[in-house]
A = this chain, B = another copy of it.
Amino acid sequence: MTDLGRLSLNTATCKPYTLAECVAAAKGAGLGAVGPWRDRVQEVGTETAARLITDAGLRVSTLCRGGFITARDDATAEKALADNLGAIDEAAALGSRELVMVVGGLPAAYGLMDMPHRPEDAADKDLVAARQRVADRIGQLVPYASDKGVRLALEPMNPLFTADRGVLTTIGQSLDVAADHPAEAVGVVVDTYHVWWDPDLEASIARAGREGRISSYQICDWTLPLAANTLNSRGFPGDGYIDFPTITRWVAEAGYTGDIEVEIFNESIWAMPAEETVRTFADRYADLVLPYL
């Protein structure tokens, strides 16, 4: 029987289901872990959530997610920092070592509109400055996170999302931000959907391993055509264009021995029974990932 002990269900893959349902589906299929989103944890409270997961004999691979720390104005920035302290507390209470950080897009995207040309928006489009604010605010969060034993796992995002979700786009860039802090304090997420195109991918994964900073390996495929809501335009490994054997080999060669998390945003997959979703991606994992670990 295929060993699914390193496979983890990120609850976003089964978005309509409660944490208890996700835990049951993961346990039923023989997975070793779940990666819960905060909304699913908050629904039942962290204590109950932790018990649900532990009682099922599962690990928490990551908690998703903190971040959105790119605001220019102090009030919004303070609010974001406070929210991230809460996320760190939740990760610690769940026994999750890794808090995934989606750092946020440009301030110009906060209202997310078809933008008419307005010269006064210029500062909101300053990508260099937005990235510097991310580095600064990660620095502000590190002492609290380290104190709680939680690592901030920076998630570089596909440039499809640079404007509105994540100004970090490559593993190399994320490692440069992490470099100001100990490896135990700041890591990086290797999510195939976000980084598969990177010409420096092999070298950057090797560097992340060497520096002890691979927080999570997430698998999800790039499918075309993009869905109308581009956020939800992802597929099961094997249904799109990503070369999972090769990337998995690079991750294994980098010394990563942690969980492999499946995080797929896709409305058709959300319409499936959780058990069928887990069975499908477990089959793909067995075919495209596990042999290369």
CA distance A119 to B226 in the complex (A): 22
Nearest neighbor of A199 in chain B, beta-carbon distance:
B173
A226 B230 Cβ-Cβ under 8 A = yes
A231-242 CB contact bits vs B (8 Å, 1 = yes)? 000001011111
A160 B159 Cβ-Cβ under 8 A = yes
Give A249 Cβ to nearest chain B Cβ, in Å: 12
A169 within 8 A of partner (CB): yes
Contacts A199-B173, A246-B128; is A236 near B114 (CB within 8 Å)?
A: no
B236 A225 Cβ-Cβ under 8 A = no
| Cβ < 8 Å to B, chain A residues 214-264 | 222-226, 228, 230, 236, 238-243, 245-246
A114 B163 Cβ-Cβ under 8 A = no
A151 within 8 A of partner (CB): no
B115 A243 Cβ-Cβ under 8 A = no
Interface-centre pick from A164, A236, A240, A243 (highest chain B CB count, 10 A): A243
Nearest neighbor of A195 in chain B, beta-carbon distance:
B159
* Count of interface residues, chain A, beta-carbon cutoff 8 Å: 49
Chain B residues near A245: list those with CB within 8 A: 122
CA distance A112 to B240 in the complex (A): 10
Q: For the complex formed by this chain, how many copies does it contain in all?
A: 2
Give A246 Cβ to nearest chain B Cβ, in Å: 7
CA distance A158 to B243 in the complex (A): 19
Contacts A158-B159, A160-B160, A162-B197; is A230 near B225 (CB within 8 Å)?
A: yes
Give A169 Cβ to nearest chain B Cβ, in Å: 5
- A241 touches which one: B125, B160, B241, B284 (CB < 8 A)? B125
Give A173 Cβ to nearest chain B Cβ, in Å: 4
Nearest neighbor of A125 in chain B, beta-carbon distance:
B243
| Cβ < 8 Å to B, chain A residues 167-208 | 168-170, 172-173, 196-199, 202
Give A269 Cβ to nearest chain B Cβ, in Å: 13
Give A142 Cβ to nearest chain B Cβ, in Å: 21
Chain B residues near A223: list those with CB within 8 A: 114-115
CA distance A158 to B158 in the complex (A): 10
CA distance A186 to B39 in the complex (A): 52
A102-134 CB contact bits vs B (8 Å, 1 = yes)? 000010110010111101001001111001000
A287 within 8 A of partner (CB): yes
CA distance A238 to B117 in the complex (A): 5
Nearest neighbor of A236 in chain B, beta-carbon distance:
B117
Give A179 Cβ to nearest chain B Cβ, in Å: 14
A126-150 CB contact bits vs B (8 Å, 1 = yes)? 1110010000000000000000000
